[in-house]
Amino acid sequence: MIYLLISVAIIAGFAFEALLLYIITKIFKINGVNYKTALIISIIQWIYFLVIGTILGIILSIFGFENLNIILSVIISFIVFHKLLQKYYQTNLKKNIAIYVVFTVITVIASLAIIIPIRNFVIMPFYAQGKAMEPSYKDGDYLLINRFSKDYQRGDVIIFRYPKNPQQFFIKRIIALPSEKVQFKEGSVYLYNKQYPNGHKLSEPYLTSDMQTIGLDKNIIELVNNEYYVLGDNRKASLDSRSFGAVKESYFIGKVWFKVSEK
């Protein structure tokens, strides 16, 4: 599913960028302008940019000049853009500079207008930090967070603001839901709810075989409305609800949707 969405996003990106280029070249009254040609230029430019940019990045990294990567990438991008417009539209350097500047500014503005709302309300990136969620998520893993869905279930891995310091973001797994009860005994988590009024040992396949859950209080902990009990998968190294208590849903940012890469 994720690869399909990425493919659709890439295709949509090319189509949108080609549309912008088509409109801008029309505004500059370039002869022979059409959408198909604009799409070809957009695709070829990105292929050249990615190939040359990757090779350039490797070379600069070897010689310790990573800071020059952005500057040289912009220069290469313009050279490729200029050569393509020169080939397909027979335009000169001066006009191509003007088109490139206008095209780049509008592309950046349009991209921000799309990306910012998506990041704030739909999907946001997140880097896992620390060892609290090992082995499921390790320090440095790059994750995508679903901010749109509010259907939080047991087992979901969520990102939330630390109740004692809302400037900090934590990643934990939901163990117990609102109105349920939690108890720690014999190294395991026991839940009490309508289905299991007398208690039920929670099955946690995401834990390592030797991992035990030791609670700070063996008494039964009762959750009220909108409260969730959250724990890290690495119970020995996790600061979680055992320490700061249940977390209200109002502190939630979203739940982990996809792990993009590992450190």
Q: What pLDDT is stored for residue 254 in this prediction?
A: 96
pTM over 0.75? The answer is no
Could you tell me the pLDDT band of residue 46, with boundaries at 50, 70 and 90?
A: confident
Report the distance separating Cα 219 and Cα 133, nearest Å.
25
Helix axis angle, 35-62 to 69-89, nearest 10°: 150
Contact 260, 206 (CB under 8 A): no
Could you tell me the pLDDT band of residue 1, with boundaries at 50, 70 and 90?
A: low
For the record, the structure tokens of 130 come out as 């620390």
Residue 116: enclosing H or E segment and its boundaries? helix 93-121
Strand pairing report for 157-162 and 142-146: unpaired
Q: What domains appear along the chain, each with residue ranges and CATH number?
A: 2-121 (no CATH), 124-261 (2.10.109.10)
Three-state secondary structure string covering 145-178? EECCCCCCCCCCEEEEEECCEEEEEEEEEEEECC
Q: What is the pLDDT of residues 184-217, one digit of tens each?
A: 988 999 999 999 999 999 999 999 989 999 876 6
Q: What is the pLDDT of residues 139-183, one digit of tens each?
A: 999 999 999 888 999 999 999 999 999 999 999 999 999 999 999
Contact 181, 262 (CB under 8 A): no
